[in-house]
Amino acid sequence: MAKRKTKFVCQECGYESTKWMGKCPGCQNWNSMVEEIEAATNAPKRGFVTSESTSSKPQPITKIENQVEQRYDTHINELNRVLGGGVVPGSLVLVGGDPGIGKSTLLLQVSGEIAKHKKRVLYISGEESLKQTKLRADRLNITYDELFVLAETDVEHIDKMIQQIQPILVVIDSIQTVYLDHVTSAPGSVSQVRECTAAFMRIAKTTGIAIFIVGHVTKQGAIAGPRLLEHMVDSVLYFEGERHHTYRILRAVKNRFGSTNEIGIFEMKEVGLEEVLNPSEIFLEERSSGAAGSAVVASLEGTRTVLVEIQALISPTSFGNPRRMATGIDHNRISLLMAVLEKRVGMLLQNQDAYIKVAGGVKLDEPSIDLAIVVAIASSFRDAPTPPTDVIIGEVGLTGEVRRVSRIEQRVIEAAKLGFKRVIVPEKSVGGWTPPAGIDVVGVNTVNEALEVTLGGMSSGSSPRFEL
């Protein structure tokens, strides 16, 4: 009998070593190396090789015919938006998120909507029994004959059931629970996750069946398993949101069939996840009128404009080093913008604690929110409220200038729909388009001008504007 060989594999990044190490050289994590037995040389071949791929020949790119991808409508508009218009046949989609955030609920609702329209769906649960899945389906009012449920973790048996049922969509909940017999490591290990994902990719590409895979996340919020997992799939969706908030955000971080900037917004209710058709109203409905340290910004997420409130609290520090805390915004951006206020405006913030928050649990990372953050900080520092009907848009440079942002017209139209009366924008973005009726568009060149307009009044003719 041949001697079995062992290796040590990092469960975070997939780094392999012949000896155990306390700290992984690949990702620098401690105690992540786990012993695994190498597969025998006569083990079944892994991955997939189709007859088409073995007989294909190189072709000039000009000779290849363009084909429009046919998509399945999920009948959930927010999910269709994130996927780029619907589910592409033969695609492999990875859905990640914190425990209890609603991944299984969302995918069961998608399965029910597709089965409702007489298309066959196979939902495979490796974490719950059939009775548990049935209880959840009853709570969501999902009772359709075309939805098949299977409680199984063996990938080979799952493959047989897929061939037997022939669905158009398969849901695997979750990839950390399934296993292949010829892989000697335990379910959820790097080797099992990698090989099982490769097996499902083979099934999706050879049969044209779309497969959704649920992935667990680590304490840092990244999808558990090797980074290779995200490279293998066609799309990676993150389900975000605070457990204490009812709103959930579905964000695409990778999508081979659509944009990666789109987000879908849902509200968790007793009967499941419901779409939020106008998120701006939701995020602004509890805004306090006349409170200092508040500013509204029109942020662009993909093709959707979302108006959110940025709150700032500036208070004298009790320690030698002032605190800088941010929720929903990059911490380094706050330090940069406060340095601009100190150097270019003259505000003494070096002895002040700063707490910045995006209301509603939204995460913003585009440059157009810079000016709203600056105005909110200055408003709290001066204890002077901003006008409640103002929307502030613009990128701030290190010299204190306000730089233009993209799609300004779309942002202003959304602000006008929600009843705002004035929009402060970069001066370079003022011309070349016609603002909607009933809203005043004010252009500013510098941070000082923006603060004068919003907090200190505005002298006549100091900034260009449209007034209709």
> Which residues sit in the known binding site?
97-104
Query: Whose CA is closest to 312, among 336, 338, 346?
Result: 338
Task: Find all residues with CB under 8 Å of 33, minimum gap 6, and list them.
Answer: 8, 9, 10, 11, 15, 17, 20, 21, 22, 24
Map tokens 């730089």 to a residue.
403
Beta-bridge mates of residue 30: 23
d(CA 121, CA 19): 45
39: three-class secondary structure by DSSP: coil
- Known binding-site residues for ATP equal 97-104
Query: Whose CA is closest to 106, among 261, 245, 257, 275?
Result: 275
Query: Whose CA is closest to 122, among 113, 132, 133, 111?
Result: 111
169 touches 121 (CB < 8 A)? yes
Give the type of residue at 231.
H
Q: What is the residue-wise DSSP string for 137-182?
A: HHHTT---TTEEEE---BHHHHHHHHHHH--SEEEEE-TTT-B-TT
